[in-house]
Amino acid sequence: QKEVEQDPGPLSVPEGAIVSLNCTYSNSAFQYFMWYRQYSRKGPELLMYTYSSGNKEDGRFTAQVDKSSKYISLFIRDSQPSDSATYLCAMSGVGNTPLVFGKGTRLSVIA
Amino acid sequence: KAGVTQTPRYLIKTRGQQVTLSCSPISGHRSVSWYQQTPGQGLQFLFEYFSETQRNKGNFPGRFSGRQFSNSRSEMNVSTLELGDSALYLCASSFRLAESQETQYFGPGTRLLVL
């Protein structure tokens, strides 16, 4: 079993839809959870950063972490064509541990 | 503040050659991590350098090596290139302290094609 599992999609939604992206993980030592967005031919850019369990909201984006289920989510409200990209979840434990990434979900928002 | 820069952006090599990629982190950032990204495997961690010392290493063969200079700039080297080394190589920098996790900021990557 891979440490981080993420449905690769592709996921296609109409403009204005609510998008739900998810990752599951197996390592209970993970404490830091991140979502990155990667446009074609670009490096990943950090969207959301959460420590431990709970919710975090930033504009149209909401990140949720459920450590009891080892499940994290990213919700995008009022999705726009400019949200079309690959979304990567990433996580790590405390201390000097490297990030472990999911393989990414490709999202297309159709106008 | 300038972002992470990587050079070159594109590179074509043939099997058996070696290659050196360069990364300049965000000013003030002391940690530089390298990742390999392929469609099949996703983003895989290669190694991390902090204050010129390798602090973490992923599961890659010894053909992959790196170093960090006193100004925090980093290079990675791949010797005896194989077709499977074709990938996007990403560098990420952070102001990473000893016992905390800092967010990482990625460069645009170097796309390597091995023929």
DSSP class of residue B33 equals E
User: What residues of A are in the B interface, CB distance below 8 Å?
Assistant: 31-32, 34, 36, 41-46, 49, 88, 90, 92, 94-104
User: pLDDT tens for residues A12-69?
Assistant: 999 999 999 999 999 999 988 999 999 998 999 989 888 888 889 999 999 999 999 9
Structure tokens at B38: 């392929």
Q: Pick from A4, A2, A5, A99: which is nearest to A44 by CA? A: A99
Interface probe, candidates A39, A52, A103, chain B, greatest B C-beta count within 10 A: A103
Q: For residues B81 and B16, is the Cβ–Cβ distance under 8 A?
A: yes
Q: For residues A74 and A90, is the Cβ–Cβ distance under 8 A?
A: no
Residues of A in contact with B41 (CB under 8 A): 103
DSSP string, A88-99: EEEEE-SSSPPP
Per-residue pLDDT at A97: 80
User: pLDDT tens for residues B32-61?
Assistant: 999 999 988 899 999 999 989 998 999 999
The residue count for chain A: 111
- The verdict on a CB contact (< 8 Å) between A98 and B45 is yes
